[in-house]
Amino acid sequence: MKIPLKGKVIFTGVLFLLLLSFALNLYLLNSEKKISPEDIAVAEKIIGLQFNQKDRELMLEDVNENLINYEKIRNVKLENSVPPSLYFNPIPPGYKIEKTKKKFKISKIKDLKVPENLDDLAFYPLTHLSALIRERKITSLQLTKLYLERLKKYGPKLECVVTLTEDLALEQAKKADEEIAKGKWRGPLHGIPWGVKDLFSTKGYKTTWGTPPYKDQIIDEDATVVKRLKDAGAVLVAKLSLGELAWGDVWFGGKTKNPWNLQQGSSGSSAGSASATSAGLVAFAIGTETWGSIVSPSTRCGVTGLRPTFGRVSRYGAMALSWSMDKVGPICRSVEDCAIVFNYIYGPDGKDPTVFDFPFNWDPDIDVRNLRVGYLKKEFEKDYRNKENDIATLDLLRSLGINLIPIELPDLPIESLSIILNVEAASAFDELTRTRGVDMMVRQERRAWPNVFRWARLVPAVEYIQANRIRTLLINEMAERLKNIDVYVSPSFGINLLLTNL
Distances (CA, A) of 372 to 213, 359, 401, 487: 48, 21, 11, 7
φ, ψ for residue 197 (rounded to 5)? -60, 135
> Could you say which of 140, 145, 197, 298 is catalytic?
197
End-to-end CA distance of the chain: 80
DSSP 312: S
Question: What does the alpha-carbon distance between residue 168 and residue 277 come to, in Å, rounded to a whole number?
Answer: 20
Strands 261-265, 487-489: pairing is: unpaired
- DSSP per position, 266-288: --SSSHHHHHHHHTTSSSEEEEE
Question: What does the alpha-carbon distance between residue 152 and residue 117 come to, in Å, rounded to a whole number?
Answer: 19
Length of the chain: 502
The answer to whether residue 140 is catalytic is: no
> Could you say which of 130, 201, 266, 269 is catalytic?
269
The answer to whether residue 197 is catalytic is: yes
* DSSP β-bridge partners for residue 236: 194
Question: What does the alpha-carbon distance between residue 464 and residue 458 come to, in Å, rounded to a whole number?
Answer: 11
C-alpha torsion 434→435→440→444, nearest 10 = 20
Question: What does the alpha-carbon distance between residue 358 and residue 352 come to, in Å, rounded to a whole number?
Answer: 15
Question: What does the alpha-carbon distance between residue 172 and residue 234 come to, in Å, rounded to a whole number?
Answer: 8
The answer to whether residue 113 is catalytic is: no
* DSSP β-bridge partners for residue 387: none
> Could you say which of 130, 273, 293, 314 is catalytic?
293
Q: Are 324 and 88 in contact (CB under 8 A)?
A: yes
Q: Which residues are catalytic?
A: 197, 269, 293
